[in-house]
Protein backbone atom coordinates (compact mmCIF):
# COMPACT_ATOMS: atom_id res chain seq x y z
CA UNK A 1 0.00 0.00 0.00
CA UNK A 2 1.19 3.50 -0.69
CA UNK A 3 0.47 6.12 1.95
CA UNK A 4 0.24 9.89 1.56
CA UNK A 5 3.43 10.25 3.58
CA UNK A 6 5.26 8.54 0.73
CA UNK A 7 5.95 5.36 2.70
CA UNK A 8 5.24 2.10 0.95
CA UNK A 9 4.13 -0.95 2.87
CA UNK A 10 3.39 -4.29 1.30
CA UNK A 11 0.74 -6.25 3.16
CA UNK A 12 -0.02 -9.86 2.27
CA UNK A 13 -3.28 -11.44 3.41
CA UNK A 14 -3.11 -15.21 3.70
CA UNK A 15 -6.72 -16.35 3.35
CA UNK A 16 -5.89 -19.93 4.36
CA UNK A 17 -4.71 -19.15 7.88
CA UNK A 18 -6.27 -15.65 8.13
CA UNK A 19 -2.98 -13.86 8.81
CA UNK A 20 -1.95 -10.42 7.62
CA UNK A 21 1.75 -10.34 6.85
CA UNK A 22 3.56 -6.99 6.81
CA UNK A 23 6.56 -7.20 4.54
CA UNK A 24 9.60 -5.04 5.27
CA UNK A 25 10.58 -2.54 2.60
CA UNK A 26 14.08 -1.64 1.54
CA UNK A 27 13.73 2.14 1.18
CA UNK A 28 16.34 2.31 -1.59
CA UNK A 29 14.19 0.09 -3.83
CA UNK A 30 10.89 1.93 -3.26
CA UNK A 31 9.12 3.83 -6.00
CA UNK A 32 9.92 7.54 -5.82
CA UNK A 33 6.56 8.51 -7.33
CA UNK A 34 3.07 7.43 -6.24
CA UNK A 35 2.00 3.91 -7.14
CA UNK A 36 -0.73 3.59 -9.75
CA UNK A 37 -1.19 -0.18 -9.75
CA UNK A 38 -0.22 -3.46 -8.15
CA UNK A 39 -0.87 -7.15 -8.84
CA UNK A 40 0.13 -10.37 -7.14
CA UNK A 41 0.93 -13.84 -8.47
CA UNK A 42 0.68 -16.09 -5.40
CA UNK A 43 1.74 -19.23 -7.30
CA UNK A 44 5.23 -17.78 -7.81
CA UNK A 45 5.25 -15.46 -4.79
CA UNK A 46 5.58 -12.33 -6.94
CA UNK A 47 4.22 -8.80 -6.86
CA UNK A 48 4.39 -6.21 -9.61
CA UNK A 49 3.92 -2.47 -9.05
CA UNK A 50 3.71 0.50 -11.41
CA UNK A 51 3.98 4.26 -10.94
CA UNK A 52 3.49 7.68 -12.58
CA UNK A 53 7.17 7.85 -13.59
CA UNK A 54 6.72 4.87 -15.92
CA UNK A 55 8.50 2.37 -13.69
CA UNK A 56 7.31 -1.14 -13.05
CA UNK A 57 8.99 -3.18 -10.37
CA UNK A 58 8.74 -6.91 -9.79
CA UNK A 59 9.19 -8.07 -6.19
CA UNK A 60 9.23 -11.38 -4.37
CA UNK A 61 7.33 -12.08 -1.14
CA UNK A 62 10.37 -11.05 0.88
CA UNK A 63 9.99 -7.58 -0.73
CA UNK A 64 13.26 -7.98 -2.58
CA UNK A 65 13.40 -6.19 -5.90
CA UNK A 66 13.77 -8.69 -8.73
CA UNK A 67 13.59 -6.36 -11.71
CA UNK A 68 12.88 -2.72 -12.54
CA UNK A 69 11.71 -1.78 -16.03
CA UNK A 70 11.30 1.81 -17.26
CA UNK A 71 8.61 2.95 -19.70
CA UNK A 72 8.54 6.38 -21.30
CA UNK A 73 4.92 7.05 -20.28
CA UNK A 74 3.26 6.72 -16.85
CA UNK A 75 2.13 3.18 -16.09
CA UNK A 76 -1.65 2.97 -15.63
CA UNK A 77 -2.04 -0.75 -14.97
CA UNK A 78 -0.10 -3.97 -14.53
CA UNK A 79 -1.44 -7.50 -14.33
CA UNK A 80 0.06 -10.95 -14.36
CA UNK A 81 -1.23 -12.58 -17.52
CA UNK A 82 -0.78 -16.19 -16.49
CA UNK A 83 0.80 -18.48 -13.92
CA UNK A 84 4.11 -18.39 -15.82
CA UNK A 85 4.54 -14.77 -14.77
CA UNK A 86 4.05 -12.94 -18.08
CA UNK A 87 2.95 -9.35 -17.37
CA UNK A 88 0.64 -7.00 -19.29
CA UNK A 89 1.53 -3.32 -18.81
CA UNK A 90 -0.94 -0.55 -19.69
CA UNK A 91 0.51 2.89 -20.37
CA UNK A 92 -0.90 5.90 -22.28
CA UNK A 93 -3.45 3.85 -24.23
CA UNK A 94 -0.94 1.12 -25.10
CA UNK A 95 -0.53 -2.45 -23.88
CA UNK A 96 2.80 -4.23 -23.71
CA UNK A 97 3.49 -7.83 -22.82
CA UNK A 98 6.58 -8.67 -20.81
CA UNK A 99 7.45 -12.34 -21.03
CA UNK A 100 8.62 -13.90 -17.79
CA UNK A 101 11.89 -14.82 -19.50
CA UNK A 102 12.63 -11.10 -19.92
CA UNK A 103 12.79 -10.37 -16.19
CA UNK A 104 13.21 -13.69 -14.33
CA UNK A 105 16.48 -15.42 -13.57
CA UNK A 106 17.01 -19.08 -14.48
CA UNK A 107 15.95 -20.39 -11.02
CA UNK A 108 12.62 -18.61 -11.25
CA UNK A 109 12.05 -19.76 -14.83
CA UNK A 110 12.49 -23.38 -13.75
CA UNK A 111 9.83 -22.80 -11.08
CA UNK A 112 7.39 -21.48 -13.69
CA UNK A 113 7.64 -24.64 -15.80
CA UNK A 114 5.43 -26.51 -13.35
CA UNK A 115 2.58 -24.13 -14.21
CA UNK A 116 2.79 -24.44 -17.98
CA UNK A 117 0.09 -27.10 -18.05
CA UNK A 118 -2.39 -24.47 -16.82
CA UNK A 119 -1.63 -21.93 -19.51
CA UNK A 120 -4.22 -23.16 -22.02
CA UNK A 121 -6.99 -22.24 -19.58
CA UNK A 122 -7.71 -18.53 -19.98
CA UNK A 123 -4.98 -18.08 -22.56
CA UNK A 124 -4.81 -14.72 -24.29
CA UNK A 125 -4.69 -15.15 -28.03
CA UNK A 126 -1.72 -13.43 -29.66
CA UNK A 127 0.36 -13.87 -32.79
CA UNK A 128 2.10 -16.94 -31.31
CA UNK A 129 -1.27 -18.66 -30.97
CA UNK A 130 -1.96 -18.22 -34.69
CA UNK A 131 1.61 -19.11 -35.64
CA UNK A 132 1.17 -22.44 -33.80
CA UNK A 133 -2.09 -23.10 -35.62
CA UNK A 134 -0.59 -22.29 -39.03
CA UNK A 135 2.36 -24.61 -38.41
CA UNK A 136 0.14 -27.61 -37.67
CA UNK A 137 -0.38 -30.12 -40.48
CA UNK A 138 -3.76 -29.84 -42.21
CA UNK A 139 -6.59 -31.96 -40.87
CA UNK A 140 -7.99 -34.70 -43.09
CA UNK A 141 -11.65 -34.31 -43.90
CA UNK A 142 -13.90 -37.20 -43.10
CA UNK A 143 -15.43 -39.00 -46.06
CA UNK A 144 -18.48 -39.69 -43.90
CA UNK A 145 -19.68 -36.12 -44.35
CA UNK A 146 -22.56 -35.83 -46.84
CA UNK A 147 -21.73 -34.08 -50.08
CA UNK A 148 -23.94 -31.34 -51.46
CA UNK A 149 -26.12 -32.66 -54.27
CA UNK A 150 -26.37 -30.04 -56.99
CA UNK A 151 -29.13 -32.02 -58.74
CA UNK A 152 -31.48 -31.45 -55.81
CA UNK A 153 -31.10 -27.67 -56.16
CA UNK A 154 -33.36 -27.27 -59.20
CA UNK A 155 -35.08 -24.09 -58.05
CA UNK A 156 -32.14 -21.83 -58.69
CA UNK A 157 -33.10 -18.31 -59.71
CA UNK A 158 -31.08 -17.04 -62.68
CA UNK A 159 -28.95 -14.00 -61.96
CA UNK A 160 -30.57 -10.63 -62.62
CA UNK A 161 -29.20 -8.46 -65.41
CA UNK A 162 -29.09 -5.07 -63.68
CA UNK A 163 -29.03 -3.06 -66.91
CA UNK A 164 -32.06 -4.92 -68.27
CA UNK A 165 -33.94 -4.53 -64.98
CA UNK A 166 -33.17 -0.80 -64.98
CA UNK A 167 -34.53 -0.40 -68.54
CA UNK A 168 -37.69 -2.31 -67.59
CA UNK A 169 -38.24 0.02 -64.62
CA UNK A 170 -37.80 3.08 -66.86
CA UNK A 171 -40.36 1.72 -69.34
CA UNK A 172 -42.87 1.08 -66.56
CA UNK A 173 -42.25 4.58 -65.21
CA UNK A 174 -42.77 6.15 -68.69
CA UNK A 175 -45.96 4.18 -69.28
CA UNK A 176 -47.41 5.18 -65.93
CA UNK A 177 -46.64 8.86 -66.67
CA UNK A 178 -48.42 8.60 -70.06
CA UNK A 179 -51.47 7.08 -68.39
CA UNK A 180 -51.53 9.92 -65.89
CA UNK A 181 -51.47 12.52 -68.72
CA UNK A 182 -54.33 10.83 -70.62
CA UNK A 183 -56.49 10.46 -67.50
CA UNK A 184 -56.41 14.19 -66.78
C-beta neighbour count of 7 within 10 angstroms: 11
On average, the pLDDT of the chain sits at 71
Nearest-5° angle of CA 59, CA 65, CA 71? 85
Q: How confident is the model at residue 105 (pLDDT cuts 50, 70, 90)?
A: confident
Alpha carbons 64 and 49: distance in angstroms, whole number: 13
Return the domain boundaries, the chain.
10-120
Q: H or E segment at 174?
A: helix 162-183
Instruction: For 35-71, write each residue's pLDDT tens digit.
Output: 888 899 988 889 899 888 888 999 888 778 888 999 8
Q: Which residue has the higher pLDDT, 154 or 107?
A: 107
96 membership: H or E segment, kind and range = strand 94-98
Could you tell me where the DSSP H helices lie in 104-161? Answer: 106-112, 127-135
| Dihedral in degrees, nearest 10, Cα atoms 89, 118, 62, 36 | 20
What are 112-146's pLDDT values in tens digits?
665 554 444 445 555 565 555 556 565 554 444 44
CA–CA separation, 23 vs 160, rounded Å? 77
- The CA distances from residue 136 to 117, 128, 143, 153, in Å, are 20, 13, 21, 36
Kindly provide the b/e burial profile for residues 150-176, where b requires at least 16 CB atoms within 10 angstroms of the residue's own CB: eeeeeeeeeeeeeeeeeeeeeeeeeee
Note the pLDDT of residue 140.
54
Q: Among 2.60.40.2140, 2.130.10.10, 3.40.50.10790, 3.40.50.1260, what is the CATH number of 10-120?
A: 2.130.10.10
Q: Stretch 154-173: mean pLDDT, rounded?
A: 69
What pLDDT sits at residue 1? Answer: 45
Amino acid sequence: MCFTSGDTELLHWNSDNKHLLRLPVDKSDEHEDALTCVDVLPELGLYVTGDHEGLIKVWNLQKQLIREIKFVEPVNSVIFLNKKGDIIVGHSGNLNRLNASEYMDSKMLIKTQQYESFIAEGQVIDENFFRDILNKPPSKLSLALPRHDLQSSKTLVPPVDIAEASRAEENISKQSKKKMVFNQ
